[in-house]
Amino acid sequence: MPFYDSSDDDEPSYKNKLLISARDRNEFGREYFCGNRDEYVSSASKVAFEKYGVCTENEISFGLKHEFMQKDTYKDFSRKSSITSESQSDAKFTYQQPFNFTSYEPKSLSGIVESGCVLYKGHDDVYASPKFEATTKSKLECEDTDGTTAKFECGGSFELGIYEQKFKANAESSIQQDDVTLFKTEASLETKMGMNGDYVDAKFGNTLFRACDENEGLDLKLLNASAEAKFGIDENGIEDMIKLGVNLVEAEAVGVKSKIGFNLDTGISVNKNGIEGKLEGFGVKLGKEIGVSTPFAEVSIDLEKWFGS
């Protein structure tokens, strides 16, 4: 019968940190018209110019970060089991003010010297960008005497700015021993709205059995069910995809991926990794990963992993 032994426990740890930072960035560039005065005057309306450009960006941020950790240890003869709980949260306010000094041609001939060097500068509008950010994450981990670990993790974050707003939330639970994972469940939601476009990605997945060897590039999943919805247009591409499927077997070896099950994926995705199009399970994928799919099976090759091996 295991009994509680506080001698090996870590004392509950609480940390509060004040976050303050400031930075500035400067870029400078200059081009000259080289020639004599007469050449400059005669060609000033055509190609003669001098340009002067400076870009300065100032940023200051301040916030608070809180951390907590506690570990309870139990003994069963010479073996130990433990329960560890951790949490972390922080909030930060950032004020960013870039000054964009850009290049201008001289508007008059005043100040011209024999070398042809003329100095004239101007600047664009000043854009202030205040932003508030907050994140939180928690983890509960139970380790048994035989090394089996059960854990639950959850977290979230949001970013509120004038030009962009973001929100993320995720949760995950599993039982793991060495390279074998049982009853793994994952859920996440990510949204973004702003000047660069809007985006939403919601997904849920559950895997009964998974064996993974990262060093050898091997990954095997049995009885995997998943659902995902992605919609949006932003600087990263176009997403309009609904994925829904149950796979009896899902395997990957050195970049070669295969699935056997039933899938009804439908939609299109265009981003930096390539293009993918599907209709009720039938589809193709081109880019960093190439492959074909049907409602009952799918095979693809990750070219980076394949040639990297």
The per-residue pLDDT for 75 is 63
Write the DSSP string, 142-199: EE-TTS-EEEEEEEEEEEEESSEEEEEEEEEEEEEETTEEEEEEEEEEEEEEETT-EE
Dihedral sign computed on CA atoms, order 249, 284, 214, 303: positive
The whole model's pTM is what?
0.73
pLDDT tens for 225-270 read 999 999 998 877 888 999 999 999 999 998 899 999 999 999 999 9
Q: What is the pLDDT of residues 171-180, one digit of tens each?
A: 999 999 988 9
Give yes or no for residue 124 having a pLDDT over 90. no
pLDDT tens-digit profile of 14-53? 777 777 777 666 554 444 444 444 454 444 433 434 444 4
What pLDDT digit, counting tens, does each position of 56-104 carry? 566 777 788 888 887 777 666 556 788 888 898 988 888 776 554 444 3
Cβ atoms of 232 and 196 within 8 Å: the answer is: no
pLDDT at position 72, please? 74
- Residue 97 pLDDT: 66
Query: pLDDT > 90: what percent of the chain?
Result: 39
Q: Is pLDDT above 60 for 131? A: yes
Other C-beta atoms lying within 10 Å of the C-beta of residue 118: 23
Q: What is the rounded distance in angstroms from the CA atom of residue 30 to the CA atom of residue 51?
A: 6
